[in-house]
Amino acid sequence: MGARSLKPHYDAVIIGCGMAGLAAGIRMAMYDRSVLIVESHNAPGGLNSFYALEGRKFDVGLHAVTNYVPPGAKGTPLVKLLRQLRLRREDLDLCPQRGSRIAFPGIDLAFDNGFARLGESVAEAFPAEIDGFRALRAHVAAFDPFDDTAPVVSAREVMGRYLRSPVLTDMLLCPILYYGSARENDIDFDQFVILWRSLFEEGFARPHEGVRVVIRALLKRFREAGGERKMKCGVRRLHTDGARVTAVELEDGLTVTADAVLSTAGARETEALWSATDQPAAPEPGRRLSFVETITVLDAQPADLGAEETIIFFNDSERFHYERPAAAVDPRSGVICFPNNYDYGERRLDEGFFRVTALADYDRWAALSPEAYRAEKDAWYPRLQESALRFVPGLDMDTVRAHTRYIDMFTPCTVKRFTRHIEGAVYGAPRKHRDGTTRFDNLFLAGTDQGFLGITGAMLSGISMANRHVLSRR
């Protein structure tokens, strides 16, 4: 869209063209609202985008689309999302996982799509805990995580009412924290419930071509509904009168007005856009968390090299530490993903992929000179791979090296550069704004800092906030 083709006024301006922003835009445009999405980056998708290097396309954040259910399921988040956006299942090309694992010293818990396999693994590894585990599951099933009037409660505190084993508690938390927690060593129980259901009760899937399939489907639907986008141009300032956002000033100097502004940039990131007379409050407590990820392209399918699982959540210590590390990277725990190991039917990926994610410290990476930054990546790349491969019995470092075609690695600085999230925080600030409201009557939050999690959760956040704060008002 050319700069001069913008309208002077919109029913809604959305900050950020990620999953939440696109879903909110589609939902509002479907009901004849004039909608403009503005995005500072040149590609849509936000935290779940993709990039190209030497002819290859790499997903940024997608290990899995969570909340997968097979055709015919009813009342689940995926089904609700498809209905609310009027998408077909085939538009997303979701292919289910083949099986995943939580790996701690001497103990493994296997799980797949649906709950039975995880329950069996817990019964085998922790027979004395199975009654408490089943009681915890019943409590999760009965809990309403979308009641934003309920008090915020620690997940560890609730789990402690049912489980006596700290190891089992850590093992269940490991994938949940890695896939959505902005808090060190814990997560709010409402978010725990959302992630428990999306990971353990439902499960993982992936489009054969990766996240760009989801992005293409959302962009097509947004265009069909009449929505407008302005890329490579973020918001410079939100002008306010103390009660409302009165104008949205863009980085190219243009200014538009809107009845409602929906920001998916994050709470603190949005506050930084307020006028000078409306300074944000004191910083929220809690350190922000970010990650590094190594991506290795192989000349063989991982299963042919001995790695048959889809995702492995690993931890090598007596206790699981999910916290900002003292070093640039914490290799003690992380997430291994083999994107080839989804059930694509007769299709398969042309090359093999081996991805490892671990916690990282933004400050240490940000303080490095360009030369030191490259050297640090070169040093941490093999260390993180070697740490992860201890938990892949069929694969070793020599085999990986022998079959490596290409490598890449991103850091918290990469996340900051492409998302503008403070300190490269993947999951935003520790405190969530569950109702999406701000101090301004017509400014609302969706996505990361509203509190719905994962790709499906981000889209549902956008839909929910659009329904609640925009569509219901007219």
At residue 262, what are phi and psi to the nearest 5 degrees? -115, 115
- pLDDT at residue 49, as a whole number: 84
- pLDDT at residue 3, as a whole number: 44
List Cα–Cα distances, 23 to 62, 72, 461, in angstroms: 17, 23, 8
Spans of all domains in the chain: 3-64+211-284+425-473
CB of 462 within 8 A of CB of 19? yes
CB atoms within 10 A of CB 116: 9
- pLDDT at residue 280, as a whole number: 52
From the list 46, 256, 66, 42, the residue with the least C-alpha distance to 179 is: 66
Buried b (16+ CB within 10 A) or exposed e, 303-323: bebebbbbbbbbbbeeebebe
pLDDT per residue, tens digit, the chain (474 aa), is 444 589 999 999 999 999 999 999 999 999 999 999 999 998 898 888 888 888 888 888 768 999 999 998 998 999 999 999 999 999 999 999 999 999 999 999 999 999 999 999 999 999 999 999 999 999 999 999 988 888 889 999 999 999 999 999 999 999 999 999 999 999 999 999 999 999 999 999 999 999 999 999 999 999 999 999 999 999 999 999 989 999 999 999 999 999 999 999 999 999 999 855 555 555 666 789 999 999 999 999 999 999 999 999 999 999 999 999 999 999 999 999 999 999 999 999 999 999 999 999 999 999 999 999 999 999 999 999 999 999 999 899 999 999 999 999 999 999 998 888 999 999 988 888 999 999 999 999 999 899 887 889 999 999 999 999 999 976
- pLDDT at residue 279, as a whole number: 53
Mapped onto helix, strand or coil, the DSSP state of residue 182 is coil
Prediction pTM value: 0.95
List Cα–Cα distances, 204 to 111, 247, 419, in angstroms: 10, 41, 25
- pLDDT at residue 452, as a whole number: 83
Mapped onto helix, strand or coil, the DSSP state of residue 141 is helix
At residue 433, what are phi and psi to the nearest 5 degrees? -110, 85
- pLDDT at residue 277, as a whole number: 54
Per-residue pLDDT tens over the stretch 55-74: 888 888 768 999 999 998 99
Per-residue pLDDT tens over the stretch 147-180: 888 888 999 999 999 999 999 999 999 999 999 9
Largest CA distance in the chain: 68
* HEC letters along 384-414: HHHHHHCCCCCCCHHHHHHHEEEEEEECHHH
Mapped onto helix, strand or coil, the DSSP state of residue 339 is helix
Buried b (16+ CB within 10 A) or exposed e, 244-263: ebbbbbbeeebebebbbbbb
- pLDDT at residue 51, as a whole number: 82
CB of 92 within 8 A of CB of 207? yes
CA angle (143, 183, 156) in 5-degree steps: 50
Q: How far apart (Å, rounded) are the C-alpha atoms in residues 152 and 119?
A: 27
The bridge status of strand 235-240 relative to strand 311-315 is: unpaired
Q: How far apart (Å, rounded) are the C-alpha atoms in residues 271 and 290?
A: 21
- pLDDT at residue 61, as a whole number: 73
Considering the domain delimited by 3-64+211-284+425-473, tell me its CATH architecture. Answer: 3-Layer(bba) Sandwich (3.50)
